[in-house]
Amino acid sequence: MEQTTSAVESSFDRVALRARARRPRRNGARLLVMSNRAPVKIVRENGHERVEPTVGGVGSTFLRLLERHGGLWIAWSGIKDDARRIDKPGSDTQFSMLFPRLTERDVAFYYHGMCNRGLWPLMHFMPLNCRFETAQWDTYRRVNWMFARAAEAEVGSYDVIWVQDFHLALVPQHLCERNPKVPIGLFWHVPWPPEQVFRIFPWRSELLTGMLGSDLIGFHTPAYAKHFLDGCERILNLKVDRETSQVFHDSRTTKVGSFPLGIAADLFSEIASTPESRARARRIRKALRTPIVVLGVDRLDYTKGIIERLLGFERFLEHYPEYRRRITLVLIAVPSRTRVTEYSALKKQVDELVGRVVGRFSSDGWVPIRYLYTQFQMRELIAYYQSADIALVTPLRDGMNMVAKEYVASHPADSAVLILSEFAGAAEELSSALLVNPYNIDQIAERLHQAVEMPMEERRARFAEMRERVHRNDLEAWSQHFLSVLHEQCAIEPDAQLAAQ
């Protein structure tokens, strides 16, 4: 039987009181990070549980921030009907993780429903893939409220709250109403669509209002920030200052900015330089038995342009038969959201297309595509990055795209080529890549030809510039920039804000 809202509230109050009693008192600020999933996962096997780290550079950065400043990470444990608090093993006990309880219905309606079938395609400018249901929105609202209540029980007067991504868009407003003096930041890891596209969302005003509980909202690119400001101005009829990128509402202001997400560049470079990684890369190339290796790595998601990538590679083999038996495309597709119908259909489509290209062009022991439907750990993935002469990254729309930056940081020499969709957020920083319109199959083929024919001097110049940008704007620089702007925004006196209106 599903719990009522009051029952959930009472349960969380009890957990919060116990958590508050254990929380260490500090004079300095703590960081409270909030996200749908945590940087660790709880695995249950044979009646036993263990805590394992999850793969992901952003999680690693927040872990370092929390270890340095002390604080708390509030996220779902990945297990239904699970609520607990744990200390990160081997760390200062000032850093803990709190896991709100999500029921099976919560996971189905909030995560698989509203997040994956509603907001995800909407934010990627794909309205035809959107499915909006009132029951799912109601569950999304309730889960956001639960997360906010968990944070409210924890927050102190010196703390800073940093909410991550579209899963928790309503949390800032809930927190702001009860804790108006606590700095609240929200970073949006996916794109933000033009106002005309966003308008189709049935609860558009409530979503915008929820986000505006933040003092600072960050996006990957200026274009996404502009789209958000357009929505605030035209949907909520709020005053927007375009020069300072601020939205005025309820005698308060919310600053909106562009903060392109970086990666742990030094870590990727360090692993790539190890003898073990280099040896693994050589073994991969030897097994492929072709002088040219092209790599594509993605979650199996319809926004990633995997079908277009395969069609472009097929067109390349059609137009340039002299490269047959000389080139191999390694396609790594990470399983994703397998419970969602659209993703199962995509898997079938990719399987059939790979089979068609392999059946059409294979000869004399040469197979044009090596298709790996699996998830690799970081060290294994870096070896594949090193083994590839060309990275083919073709999302139809992407907030940033970490694969492009990881490839640049992992490659041992400035002799590789990155082909990158112009619709990835990373294209603004990595402008020295060969940019491509992923909807143009012939252009993908032409970019592949341009890459394999590119003189070494041009390769080195392009790649060196991208490498410098990736290392300059790494994860640490990104997080420091965001937090410094958040503190500056919250340092403005209330009277000054009112005067600005």
Q: Which residues are catalytic?
A: 189, 398
Do the beta carbons of residue 430 and residue 420 sit within 8 Å?
yes
Sheet holding 434-436, edge to edge: 369-373, 327-334, 292-299, 390-393, 417-421, 434-436
| Type and span of the H or E element at 71 | strand 71-76
Strands (DSSP E) found in 211-313 = 216-219, 239-241, 246-249, 252-258, 292-299
Q: How far is CA 306 from CA 31, 389, 398, in A?
A: 38, 19, 13
> What torsion do the CA atoms of 180, 182, 187, 188 make, to the nearest 10 degrees?
-20
Q: What is the DSSP string of 204-239?
A: HHHHHHHHTTSSEEEESSHHHHHHHHHHHHHTS--E
Tokens 């395969």 — which residue? 310
The C-alpha atoms of residue 91 and residue 98 are separated, in whole angstroms, by 15
The C-alpha atoms of residue 83 and residue 99 are separated, in whole angstroms, by 5
Q: How far is CA 238 from CA 125, 209, 229, 233, 321, in A?
A: 24, 11, 9, 5, 58
How many beta carbons lie within 10 A of that of residue 239, not counting itself? 14
- Residue 281 identity: A
Q: How far is CA 65 from the centre of its chain?
A: 18
How many beta carbons lie within 10 A of that of residue 14, not counting itself? 10
Comparing CA positions, the residue from 153, 143, 118, 127 lying closest to residue 36 is 143
- Residue 485 identity: V
177-193 in b/e form (b: 16+ CB < 10 A) is: eebeebbbbbbbbbbbb
Do the beta carbons of residue 370 and residue 262 sit within 8 Å?
no
Comparing CA positions, the residue from 431, 193, 165 lying closest to residue 303 is 193
Helix, strand, or coil (residue 420)? strand
Of the CA atoms within 13 Å of residue 188, those in its CB half-sphere come to: 35
